[in-house]
Amino acid sequence: MKLEVKTLRYLTSDDFRVLTAVEMGSKNHEIVPVHLIIQTANIRHGNVQRCIAELARRNLVAKECTSKYDGYRLTYGGYDYLALRALSKRGTVVSVGNQIGVGKESDIHVVADADGHERVLKIHRLGRTSFRTVKNNRDYLQGRHTASWMYLSRLSATKEVAFMRVLKEHGFPVPIPYDHSRHCVVMEFVDAFPLRQITEVAQPGKLYAELMDLIVRLAQSGLIHGDFNEFNILIKESGVPTLIDFPQMVSTSHANAEFYFNRDVECIRTYFRRRYRYESALYPKFTRDATREFSLDVKVSASGFNRKQLKELDEYYAERGEIAEGEGSEDEDEESSDDQEEEDGTESETGSEEQTTSDGEEGKTKPPTATPTTMSVP
Ligand code: ADP
Ligand code: MG
């Protein structure tokens, strides 16, 4: 989905009122009836029709005819517009530059704020992925309407920013969150490469320990990242890691907390073994190491959304996680030669835990296209 920045400049304030009316109507109408748009926009009748036509021409709304009435629905383009307009009013995004990442569920752009600082704009796009290829299709994913995908995308962005705020405040290495509107988050641009692109690490043991320590510190604060993989760990030139991508985080009180914790740990173990030929007998265990010292989970859930919303999002991520595992990884071929290594009993010494990795999620994000494909860190 392309971000049409040009549109921002050409819409009049009446167009904006009409677009806002469609957004407001979308809260309780899948297709917003024209009379409701006219009533809500509160501008001259003739003007509304003209504005709607203009918005439809720019693909910010789309006409839909039902058996009962004709109306319009907000498109993702329209939703992007509303968010960008809010962010630009506040001066947190005044220009949009290159797209640096395309996840399955987000678009990442470099943007600039009013003072010319580089920032990252993450646009959440849940439901973009087609689940067609997956045998294990679930009706509720397929049957969702655009409006509910937008709703989930907004929840996802809201959750991400709430976690980022709390994590940053408590000294975790995460980007600074600057602003948020609807399904968009503006955050610090981290000048770094995803671990996925780091071919060589001079002291893999040091980095491994730092990452495991991060998993443990999170758990001691009541949190599990839930997608702690090589795409979501950015490594600065100095070798220091920054953690990103928080919408799927769960509390250590979650019913499946142990599973998620172990999966994060296994993900790092597997990656270091395959990529850097590094293996350690030492790795954290939920039952031993995840002793709660703080309750950041409670703090986050008290900030901005209610239980029902969190549950809806949780269900989505749980479902998606299940599906993603079935999808397999982009790099399966490249790495399959190493699979044997896993069977080599090197783990028997440290425990007989079932191996659970989130490898299947590797295809979820793609590394930035504008950067070199490999590098090494000290
Ligand atoms: P998704 O939820 O789609 O996986 P991520 O938040 O993981 O989205 O971002 C996707 C990619 O965009 C990352 O792997 C990284 O390359 C890039 N990226 C995301 N946030 C930042 C940031 N704050 N600074 C620099 N690059 C980023
Ligand atoms: Mg990611």
54-88 pLDDT, tens digit each: 999 999 999 998 888 889 999 999 999 999 999 99
Looking at 188, 220, 250, the residue that finishes a domain is 188
Q: What is the pLDDT of residues 122-179, one digit of tens each?
A: 999 998 764 444 444 455 455 567 678 898 999 999 999 999 999 999 999 999 999 9
Percent of the chain with pLDDT over 70: 77
Per the CB < 8 A criterion, the answer to whether 11 and 19 are in contact is yes
Same-domain check for residues 202 and 291? yes
Containing 241, the helix (H) or strand (E) segment is strand 241-243
Q: What is the DSSP string of 347-367?
A: TGGG--------GGGGGGB--
Residue 176 CA: which ligand is closest? 1
Tell whether the model's pLDDT for residue 370 goes beyond 80.
no
The residue to mutate among 111, 119, 122, having the most atoms of ligand 1 within 8 angstroms of its beta carbon, is 122
| pLDDT of res. 304 | 64
- Domain of 71: which CATH number? 1.10.10.10
Mean pLDDT check: name the lowest of 108-122, 210-224, 331-345: 331-345
Residues measured by CB to lie within 5 Å of ligand 2, the ion: 231-232, 245, 365
Q: What is the CA radius of gyration of the chain?
A: 22
Pick left, alpha or beta for residue 2 (phi over 0 → left; psi -120 to 50 → alpha; otherwise beta).
beta
For the CA of 106, the nearest atom of ligand 1: 3
Identify the CA nearest to 52 among candidates 33, 28, 66: 33
Any atom of ligand 1 within 6 Å of the Cβ of 244: yes
Q: Could you report the per-residue pLDDT of 309-336, keeping only the tens digit for each?
A: 878 888 888 877 765 444 433 343 344 3
Q: Give the pLDDT confidence of 271-314 residue by residue, as tens digits.
A: 999 999 999 999 999 999 999 888 988 888 767 667 788 788 88
In which band, very low, low, confident or very high, does the pLDDT at 101 lie, cut at 50, 70 and 90?
confident
* pLDDT exceeds cutoff 60 at 24: yes
Q: Are residues 348 and 253 in the same domain?
A: yes
Q: Which residues contact 375 (CB under 8 A, 6 or more apart)?
A: 193, 197, 198, 199
Q: Give the Å distances, CA to CA, from 341 to 283, 335, 347.
A: 18, 11, 11
Q: Is the CB of 175 under 6 A from ligand 1?
A: yes
How much helix, strand and coil, in percent to the nearest 5, is found in the chain? 45, 20, 35
Give the list of residues 6+ apart from residue 221 with CB closer than 8 angstroms, or none. 170, 292, 293, 294, 295, 296, 297
CA distances from 274 to 100, 298, 337 (A): 26, 36, 10
pLDDT at residue 300, as a whole number = 83
What is the H or E stretch that residue 272 is in? helix 257-276
Which protein residue has the closest C-alpha to ligand 1 atom 6?
Answer: 245
The answer to whether 100 touches 368, Cβ cutoff 8 Å, is: yes
Residues 322-343 as b/e (b if ≥16 CB within 10 A, e otherwise) read: ebbbebebeeeeebeeeeeeee
Looking at the structure, do residues 214 and 310 belong to the same domain, yes or no?
A: yes
- Last residue of one domain, picked from the residues 127, 159, 188: 188
Per-residue pLDDT, averaged over 15-37, amounts to 94
The answer to the question of residue 227 being in a domain is yes
Phi-psi category of residue 295: left, alpha or beta, with phi > 0 → left and psi -120 to 50 → alpha: beta
Interface ipTM > 0.90: yes
Tell me: do 246 and 359 sit in the same domain. Answer: yes
Give pTM, 2 decimals.
0.83
Q: Does 174 contact ligand 1 (Cβ within 6 A)?
A: no
Per the CB < 8 A criterion, the answer to whether 73 and 31 are in contact is yes
| pLDDT of 347 over the 70 cut | no
What pLDDT, on a 0 to 100 scale, did the predictor assign at position 322? 61
d(CA 212, CA 265) in angstroms, rounded, equals 7
Of 9, 136, 176, 31, the C-alpha closest to 81 is: 9
Q: Is the CB of 122 under 6 A from ligand 1?
A: yes
**Domain containing 161: what range?**
90-188
Instruction: Examine the domain organization and report whether 216 and 126 are in the same domain.
Output: no
In a domain, 2, yes or no: no
Q: Tell me the one-letter amino acid at 313.
A: L
User: Could you tell me how far CA 9 lies from the centroid of its own chain?
Assistant: 28
Q: Distance between CA 165 and CA 305 in Å, rounded?
A: 14
State residue 323's pLDDT score: 53
AA letter at 342 = E
User: Of 209, 244, 210, whose CA–CA distance to 229 is shortest?
Assistant: 244
pLDDT score at 374: 42
The number of folded domains in the chain is 3
Residue 150, in any domain of the structure: yes
| Ligand 1 pocket, residue 106 CB under 6 Å | yes
Q: What's the pLDDT score for residue 62?
A: 96
Q: Is 227 a catalytic residue?
A: yes
Rounded Cα distance, 115 and 112, in Å: 8
224: tokens are: 């599990």
Tell which of 150, 166, 188 closes a domain: 188
167 and 41 inside one domain: no
DSSP string covering 98-154: EEEEEBSSEEEEEEE-TT--EEEEEEE-TT-S--TT-SS--HHHHT--HHHHHHHHH
Using DSSP's 3-state secondary structure scheme, residue 238 falls into coil
The answer to whether residues 199 and 346 belong to one domain is yes
Q: Which residue is catalytic, options 107, 227, 297, 359?
A: 227
Q: What percent of the chain is predicted at pLDDT more than 90? A: 61
Average pLDDT of the chain is 82
